[in-house]
Amino acid sequence: MKRDIITSAIGILVLTLFCGILYPLVITGISQVAFPGNADGQLVHVDGKLVGSQEIGQNFGLQVYKNGKPVMQNGVPVTNPDPRYFQTRPSATVPPNNAAATTFSNLGPNSVATEQEISGNIQAYIALNGPYYPGKLRAANVPVDAANTSASGIDPDISVRNADIQAHRVAAVRHLSLAAVMTLVNKYTGGRGLGFSGEPGVNVLELNLALDRMNGVHA
């Protein structure tokens, strides 16, 4: 008994040093030398200013002002989507796309709250993109990823179909040809892992920054 207690007490301490200090430090050391950009989160700078991480989805919205003051709701700034930019997927974090407090929506499959959430997302999507879409944009045409909340709340990607629909609006608002915008969409579409694992996605931040460069806009 006494022997077990001594061995346990010493054991947990030395194993903490080994597994909890040494192991993470070794991984950090190797990572920082071999893959420094990745280890720090693939941060993106424009004109020397940090604007985000390639891997993290953001809210491309504009702050709403009333009488010169930012409008707040429950302590969170109210925003409208900026029509010049491709928009990321709906997010359950507060504020949307908050990468310091990620959360699931946890909305169930048979819940009225879920149906209302999805309907709201569909309406917002149609209101934003419908006017520029050739033909009539209906709920049935809205891709699921544009209507359903992502898991992480900071999904960096949107589906190719979602990007195709938004491209009409972005091209019109930016006075670019649809072909030019679609070229960029294709350029920033990632493939599947090993050719089969997962789904292709369009990286929204990279795409939006490329559009800004094309327009000569500096953030």
Partner 1 sequence: MTFLGWLTIVLFCVVLTLLAMPLGRYMAAVYTGQPTFLDPLFRTPERLFYRVMRVDPERSQDWKQYAKSLIIFSLAGWLLLYFILRTQTLWNWTGLNPEGFHSAPWNVTFNTTSSFLTNTNWQYYGGETTMSYFSQMAGLTVQNFLSAGVGIAVAVALIRGIIGRSGKGIGNFWQDLIRTVLWVLTPISIVVALILVFQGSIQNFSHYVNFNGPTGLANSIAMGPVASQEAIKELGTNGGGFFNTNSAHPFENPTGFTNFVEMLTVLVIPAGLVFMYGRMAGNRRQGYAIFATMLVMFFGACCVAYVAEAHGTPAQHAAGLHTQVVAGSTGGNMEGKEQRFGIAGSALFDVVTTVTSCGAVNSAIESYTGIGGAVPMANLSASEVIFGGVGTGLYSILLYVLLAVFIGGLMVGRTPEYLGKKIEAREIKLVAIGLLITPLAALFSTALATASSAGRQSISAAAAGGPQGFSETFYAYLSQANNNGSAFAGYGGFVQPNAGSLGSHGITFADLLGGFTMLFARYAPILFALAVAGTLAGKRVSPAGLGTMRTDNPTFVVLLIGVIVLVGALTFFPALLLGPIVQGLTGHLYQ
Is residue 33 close enough to count as binding partner 1 by CB under 8 A? Answer: no
Q: Which of residues 145-164 bind partner 1 (CB under 8 A)?
A: 145, 147-164
| Interface with partner 1 (CB under 8 A), residue from 166, 184, 207, 208 | 208
Q: Smallest distance, Å, CB 55 to partner 1?
A: 4
Total number of residues binding partner 1 (CB under 8 A)?
119
Tokens representing 131 are 């006017």
Q: Which of residues 68-97 bind partner 1 (CB under 8 A)?
A: 77, 79, 82, 85, 89, 95, 97
d(C-alpha 47, C-alpha 80), whole Å: 26
Instruction: Determine the Cα angle at 144 with ends 92 and 168, to 5°.
Output: 100
Q: Specify the residue for token string 């972005």.
A: 170
| Interface with partner 1 (CB under 8 A), residue from 135, 140, 175, 216 | 140
Q: Which of residues 162-181 bind partner 1 (CB under 8 A)?
A: 162-164
d(C-alpha 187, C-alpha 181), whole Å: 10
d(C-alpha 168, C-alpha 194), whole Å: 31
Task: Report the length, in residues, of the chain.
Answer: 219
Task: Report whether 166 contacts 89 (CB < 8 A).
Answer: no
Tokens representing 108 are 């169930």
Q: Smallest distance, Å, CB 136 to partner 1?
A: 13
Q: Smallest distance, Å, CB 176 to partner 1?
A: 17
Nearer to partner 1, 80 or 177 (CB): 80
